[in-house]
Chain A
Amino acid sequence: MMTDKKDILEDGRLKEPAFQIDRERLDRLNSTLNDIPSMSGARRNFIPQLAPYLALAALFIAVFAGVRLLAGMTAPAEDDIAFTEEDFLLSTLPVGYSLDDAEDFLPATNCSEDEIIEYFVYSGIQVADLIEDF
């Protein structure tokens, strides 16, 4: 239902200044404001111009660091990838040898001459086979 009551906020007196402010106060303030350039000196502010480039550099560094961090988390431990003397010896073996052969073969490097001959005799390897392999 519509009422005849006038909108109280339409009263123009409400918009009038409600604080008694000295004209001198505002003049003093204006004079202080006018002194701002001489106080701070005429200077060019380069920060806003450099800001996008700095932001881009920061983003690049953040992405790089993030990738490094992720790579570090997913990479195998150093012990797993270290190249040992045993690996070196294995890598020098002919391709045809299996790992079992290699395990048998490696300790033989410290064997005496008699032990080597005994090994050949018991394993049935002929000198001709050895020449053929090499």
Chain B
Amino acid sequence: MSDKEIRNLWECGRQEEAFRAIVSAYSERLWWNIQRLSCNADDSDDLLQEVFIKIWQALPSFRWESSLFTWVWRISTNLTLNYLRKARFMSLISLEDASAAIGRRIDEDPDFCGTEAQKVLYKAMAKLPQKQKIVFSLRYFDEMKYEDMSEILGTSVGALKASYHHAYKKIRAELEEKINP
């Protein structure tokens, strides 16, 4: 269902149907995005629920002239950033580096079915600064346009390109070192 059709449902007073249409249009893509950043399926479930609760609560004040796609992604990205900050804080308490924790999680996760190169890729992503991590994930995996990312993250296109370029170089270097020495 398109954003316009969802808007029509909302404006006709069929609010729950509109919400369910948003769930069906975005939930899976958002879940995978969160999963790539958290590397934890349970955390991804919880975070996605939080995202949609927030969407349901904020829908009445959403101005439908702006893009639903950008708005939904912005909510998800903000909550994911909060989650990553919290994870970093928890790693400070447990004295284990946040990226090391994700690396250990990937090594121990029975659901991980990727290749060795993917394992290195996820571990390298975990080492990136939070915003760079999100920029890399949105661009590399979701192939999102810089203009959309700019609206979601509130950052200029130029800065996003630079950020993606840095992240790309770091990850490629790590992959080349460990997979293709």
Contact = CB atoms under 8 A, between A and B. Distances in A.
Counting chain B residues whose Cβ lies within 8 A of the other chain, the interface size class is 35 or more
B48 interface: yes
Interface stretch (B64-72, B95-103, B109-117): B109-117
Interface stretch (B55-63, B73-81, B82-90, B127-135): B55-63
B4 interface: no
Contact of B27 (A30, A37, A49): A30
A68 interface: no
B16 A37 contact: yes
Interface string A27-45: 0011011101110101011
A33 B41 contact: no
A70 interface: no
Interface stretch (A3-11, A57-65, A90-98, A122-130): A3-11
Interface stretch (A16-24, A81-89, A109-117): A16-24
Given A14-B118, A40-B57, A30 B23 contact: yes
21 contacts: A9-B168, A9-B172, A13-B117, A14-B117, A14-B118, A15-B140, A16-B114, A17-B114, A20-B111, A20-B112, A26-B27, A30-B27, A33-B49, A36-B19, A36-B49, A36-B56, A37-B16, A40-B56, A42-B15, A45-B61, A48-B61
A38 to B, nearest CB: 7
Interface of A: 5, 7-9, 11, 13-21, 25-26, 29-30, 32-34, 36-38, 40, 42, 44-45, 48-49
Contacts of B140: 9, 15
A29 B57 contact: no
B35 interface: yes
Contact of A20 (B28, B31, B113): B113
Interface of B: 15-16, 19-20, 23-24, 27-28, 31-32, 35, 39, 41, 45, 48-49, 52-53, 56-58, 60-61, 109, 111-115, 117-119, 121-122, 140-141, 168, 171-172, 175-176, 179-180
Contacts of A19: 35, 39, 41, 109, 111-114
Among A37, A40, A49, the one with the most B-chain Cβ atoms within 10 Å of its Cβ is A37
Contacts of A49: 61
A13 B61 CA distance: 41
A1 B41 CA distance: 43
Contacts of B45: 25, 29
